[in-house]
């Protein structure tokens, strides 16, 4: 029961310097998650289901990783995000529809 409570109460997820290379699946169970800090890893790919609980996520920091592409598939669930940071990646391709669902993006 305590584990379920912890998942429910988690609002921020810090993966800084975790040396993660891929984000697959989703943050299932983290229904109140609002901030994801995945800065300074070696993330090269984000699956289309990674942000399935994205109806509450407002900030995503993916800076200082190894991403090369930004696709509509990896961001399509981030509808309420207000801040998205891709700085210091090796991005060479951005799909024109990647940010179409983001009505509240500020930065």
Look-up of token digits 């800065």: 39
Where is pLDDT greater, at 63 or 57? Answer: 63
54 vs 50, higher pLDDT: 50
Please give the residue that has the higher pLDDT: either 55 or 60.
60
Backbone angles phi, psi at 24, to 5 degrees: -115, 165
Q: What is the DSSP letter of 41?
A: S
Which pLDDT band, with edges at 50, 70 and 90, does 26 fall under? low
Q: What is the DSSP letter of 7?
A: H
- 30 close to 50: Cβ distance less than 8 angstroms: no
Which pTM does this prediction carry?
0.77
Least Cα distance to 69 among 94, 38, 51 occurs for 94
> Are the beta carbons of 23 and 45 closer than 8 angstroms?
yes
């Amino acid at each position: 029961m305590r584990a379920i409570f912890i998942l429910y109460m988690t609002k921020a997820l810090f993966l800084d310097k975790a040396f993660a290379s891929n984000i697959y699946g989703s943050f299932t169970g983290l229904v109140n998650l609002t901030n994801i800090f995945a800065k300074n890893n070696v993330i090269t790919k984000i699956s289309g289901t990674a942000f399935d609980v994205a109806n509450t996520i407002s900030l995503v920091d993916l800076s200082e990783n190894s991403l090369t592409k930004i696709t509509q598939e990896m961001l399509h669930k981030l509808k309420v995000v207000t801040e998205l940071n891709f700085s210091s990646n090796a991005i060479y391709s951005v799909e024109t529809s990647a940010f179409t669902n983001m009505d509240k993006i500020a930065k």
